[in-house]
Amino acid sequence: MSETASDPLAEILAGLPNTRAVIDSVLAVWPEHAAYLAKSLQARTPAMLAATEAAATAVRRLTAGNEATVAADYRWTCDRLREEELFFHREERYRLSTFAEAMAEVYSDHAYMARYVNGLLLTQVLWFNHVATFEMFLNRVLGAQTQPFDYLEVGPGHGLMVYFAAASSLSRSLEAWDVSAVSLRETAAALDKMGVEKPVSLTEVDILKAGQSERRYDLIVISEVLEHLERPEQALRFLTTALKPDGRIFVNVPLNSPSPDHIYLLSSPDEVTALVEGVGLKVETMELYATQAKKLESALRNRITVSAGLVARRA
């Protein structure tokens, strides 16, 4: 038996040392996850594998010295997600529906949040649908900019997308907003660890309470945020006022994605289009990626998570 046959990942991961390191750290604490990860990686195009390695390189800087804990937290997070999956398929709804509930159960529990945030960080490398929308962001959102651009991201989390926006030679200014000062401090620390090359303005803003934006931007990113809001259309309506006339907004939102703090359920691409276009935006392109690269039609029918990445402009 060849080495490739005994380790189906070896061939794919040749030349992707940081991806290999992240995967090895997870398999050390969760060997049974190997088949899942093999399938996730085998489904990726060369461009997706390049995006995987880019994400893994940043992730390794963020987790340096802490790899085993983060890997254990990823496993723990997957256990929590499986509990939510069970509830979702039994009840056909997300378990929580208000921000107050999510605050009480998840956001205010610092020990829980620390593990959960670590777990989610590794999904940026390990999950097909997350890597696929990240590849879209790198190559067809950032990569489509032809002129210098002013960048705004809402809910930057670990700052991976801000970091790559900063790495673009065309980014002129970079801002990131979050409703939580604690989250922004973590974003700042993460950007430092990754070695961000340009200044990033981090501001505490509640876009649900803001009126009109004072500044306007060429590229606005809101990734994996809308599903955490009771009224996502309010956030999008505000962001529409923050777009320059020719500006573009990149929205990444998952369908049928039960998580401990997801409160707004979107079940179909049509619902996403209606949400975005209902606030005066026009969707230009939408890309859909199902968990584990499952067939889209089957994933939607069976309520398996699908990530929707879309680019829109003011209508």
Partner 1 sequence: MSSAEILNELREIMIDVFDVDDLEVTPATTAEDVEEWDSLSHVRLVVAVERKFKIKFKNSEIEALKSVGDLVNLIEAKTAA
**Alpha-helix runs per DSSP H in 209-301:** 232-241, 269-277, 296-301
Q: Which of 8, 21, 36, 47 binds partner 1 (CB under 8 A)?
A: 36
Is-contact 23 13, C-beta < 8 A?
yes
Closer residue to partner 1, CB minimum distance, 63 or 291? 291
Q: How many residues bind partner 1 (CB under 8 A)?
A: 16
Tokens linked to 231: 């009224």
Q: Which of 7, 11, 24, 83 binds partner 1 (CB under 8 A)?
A: 83
Is-contact 103 263, C-beta < 8 A?
no
> Quick one: which H or E segment has residue 56?
helix 46-63
Q: Which of 10, 14, 28, 86 binds partner 1 (CB under 8 A)?
A: 86
Q: Which of 85, 135, 175, 218 binds partner 1 (CB under 8 A)?
A: 85
Shortest CB 277 distance to partner 1, Å: 31
Strand pairing class (281-290; 171-178): unpaired
Q: Within 10 Å of residue 256's Cβ, how many Cβ atoms? A: 23
Shortest CB 107 distance to partner 1, Å: 25
Q: Residue 256, interface with partner 1 (CB under 8 A)?
A: no
Closer residue to partner 1, CB minimum distance, 5 or 209? 5
Q: Which residue matches tokens 């398929």?
A: 89
What x/- string results for residues 89 through 118 when contact with partner 1 is judged by CB under 8 A? xx----------------------------
Q: Which residues 291-310 are close enough to bind partner 1 by CB under 8 A?
A: 291-292, 295, 298, 302, 304
Residues 6+ apart with CB under 8 A from 73: 114, 115, 116, 118, 119
Q: Which of 35, 169, 209, 270 binds partner 1 (CB under 8 A)?
A: 35
Q: Residue 78, interface with partner 1 (CB under 8 A)?
A: yes
Closer residue to partner 1, CB minimum distance, 78 or 162? 78
Q: Which of 82, 172, 185, 282 binds partner 1 (CB under 8 A)?
A: 82
Stretch binding partner 1 (CB under 8 A), from 34-42, 47-55, 195-203, 234-242: 34-42
Q: Which of 128, 139, 99, 87 is nearest to 305 (CA)?
A: 128
What single-letter DSSP state applies at residue 212? S
What x/- string results for residues 274 through 293 when contact with partner 1 is judged by CB under 8 A? -----------------xx-
What single-letter DSSP state applies at residue 258? -
Closer residue to partner 1, CB minimum distance, 81 or 194? 81
Tokens linked to 295: 């067939």
268-273 CB contacts, 8 Å cutoff, 24+ apart: 268/300, 269/300, 269/306, 269/308, 272/308, 272/310, 273/310
Closer residue to partner 1, CB minimum distance, 91 or 204? 91
Closer residue to partner 1, CB minimum distance, 241 or 292? 292
Ramachandran sector of residue 203 (left: φ over 0; alpha: ψ -120 to 50; beta: rest): beta
Q: Interface with partner 1 by CB under 8 A: which residues?
A: 35-36, 39, 78, 82-83, 85-86, 89-90, 291-292, 295, 298, 302, 304
